[in-house]
Amino acid sequence: MIWVVLAIGLAIAEAFTVTFLVIFFAAGALAAAGAAALGADLLVQLIVFAVVSGISVAALRPVIMRHSRPAVETGERPFGIEAMAGSLGIVIDEVTGDRGMIRIDGELWQARSADDRETFAPGDRVRVVELQGATLLVWQDDLPNL
């Protein structure tokens, strides 16, 4: 039962990190729990924990890390929210360095000015230059206003 509690604790800890490392130790703890359920003694349980954790880290982590990198870094075509960079939007609510709202293709997005000193009035056309979480950082587009 201790292995199961440890596995759950490690899985919860992984939720608070971005390393994709702790989860493999949770998998090792679950494997050790399985060994314990089959009647293995503590030494065998520890060996199973170490082996499964080590193999998981060595075999799976590089694959996960390769696929978790942004498309810009991997050279692949971006999709989802990553594809927002470079998009044009129209300011709906004044955009400052702290807050604002823009519309892109009919959807409303929280936005901030990429330069804290710049503000954009409703109706201004802006271009998305970066994403920070679910907030888009925008800059004045070179095209005239709509």
Mean pLDDT by 10 residues, the chain (146 residues): 94 86 93 96 97 93 70 55 78 93 91 91 91 87 59
CB 6 within 8 A of CB 14: no
Query: Rounded to whole angstroms, how far apart are CA atoms 142 and 104?
Result: 17
pTM of the model: 0.49
pLDDT at residue 67, rounded to an integer: 63
The structure tokens listed for 2 are 């201790």
- CATH node for 80-140: 2.40.50.140
Which regions of the chain carry the CATH code 2.40.50.140? 80-140
pLDDT at residue 93, rounded to an integer: 95
